[in-house]
Structure 1
């Protein structure tokens, strides 16, 4: 008996040693199939939008949806790491934590809540990731612009508002979907 290995692990190791190579491959194949059983849309095109010094990762899914990746969205707005403690609205909106603060609540409209749901997808490399609909970015920028005009932003929110202003300025003339299409090269596929 190996005293350094828990009994469960030792049992698993013994079972694996008793299986033939074909049996181990079959078990691994079934496990992989179970992991992939739930269909997730897959990114067919990926790219980066550049707004001056701000970069945001974007993708186009195999069902045609354009999205801003969750990590790209957070980094683009200057939220490198999530804040401690998550607060939710009682209405159940699925907003990023930095939008759930009390001083922004009056500026959160129905349009934002409608596009706030995270979209789970697989990257071109097959990794699971999350994103937001293309319109989400402009809606969030609008929240910060209105809060800034009302003078209710806290010191910690001013950097986000500044970055949101730069992004909104670039989105104003082109629209998020067109910019995503160009950044990912999807416009060439769509035209073909």
Structure 2
């Protein structure tokens, strides 16, 4: 009887005393398609990666009048603005169809990659735009940005508005950014995150 290589390997393991669990796993793998094996490997890698994600220890909301932005502090002390919090705080941004983007904005949120904002996007902002993957206090995998990304975005819209290059669809963002920037100048981003999450208060009590 002719056996394919994987089945011969499984029979060899059984004959030479390899534990049944290991041999059975090999047998199951032998009957899976390549796509099924890749999917299993992808899920296993994702599970391993999730175990090593930073964990949010403190969460809260910063309020700028009617504007609310979700924030968090990670177990390594990093202060974050959640991705969802940023988008909601600046007006649930969805770029219109047909808008032109520039290629160098790969890491940036889509609303910052439009051509008329390009002159106001520095390299430092692009670096800050790298998303940070972490686990919420409830264990859900989510994304955020470094807290000092927020004032940098506000500066972009302030300069673009001063230069008179904003489109009508961007003016609501600019108005929200101005309100946020005024409060950030008074209190500071990190301090507001700490207050919103009770991080500072808790740490001083320890």
Q: Secondary structure at the match of 1:64?
A: coil
Q: CA deviation at 1:109?
A: 1.2
Q: Secondary structure at the match of 1:37?
A: helix
Among 87, 97, 103, the alignment partner of 2:110 is 97
RMSD: 2.1
> What's the counterpart of residue 157 of structure 1?
170
> What's the counterpart of residue 133 of structure 1?
146
Q: What's the TM-score once normalised by structure 2's chain length?
A: 0.73
Q: Secondary structure at the match of 1:180?
A: helix
Q: What's the TM-score once normalised by structure 1's chain length?
A: 0.78
> What's the counterpart of residue 68 of structure 2?
55
> What's the counterpart of residue 28 of structure 1?
none
Q: Which has the higher contact order (CA 8 A, sep 6+)?
A: 1
Distance 1:90 1:153, change over 3 A: same
Structure 1 unmatched runs, 5+: 1-30
Q: CA deviation at 1:90?
A: 3.1
Please say if 1:37 is aligned against 2:38: no
Instruction: Output the CA distance in 2 between the equivalents of 1:86 and 1:37.
Output: 39
Paired residues for 1:174-185 under 5 Å = 174-185=187-198
Q: CA deviation at 1:187?
A: 0.4
Q: CA deviation at 1:181?
A: 0.4
Q: CA deviation at 1:49?
A: 0.2
Q: Contact between 2:73 and 2:197, CA under 8 Å: does it hold in 1?
A: yes
> What's the counterpart of residue 167 of structure 1?
180
Q: Contact between 1:41 and 1:121, CA under 8 Å: does it hold in 2?
A: yes
Q: Secondary structure at the match of 1:41?
A: coil
From the CA coordinates, give the structure whose radius of gyration is larger: 2
Q: Contact between 2:58 and 2:197, CA under 8 Å: does it hold in 1?
A: yes
Structure 2 unmatched runs, 5+: 1-41
Q: Deviations over 1:96-155 (max 9, x none)?
A: 001000000000012211211000111101111110000000000000000000000000
Q: Contact between 1:58 and 1:66, CA under 8 Å: does it hold in 2?
A: yes
Instruction: Output the CA distance in 1 between the equivalents of 2:107 and 2:202.
Output: 32
Q: CA deviation at 1:169?
A: 0.3
Q: CA deviation at 1:86?
A: 8.8
Instruction: Output the CA distance in 2 between the equivalents of 1:143 and 1:52.
Output: 21
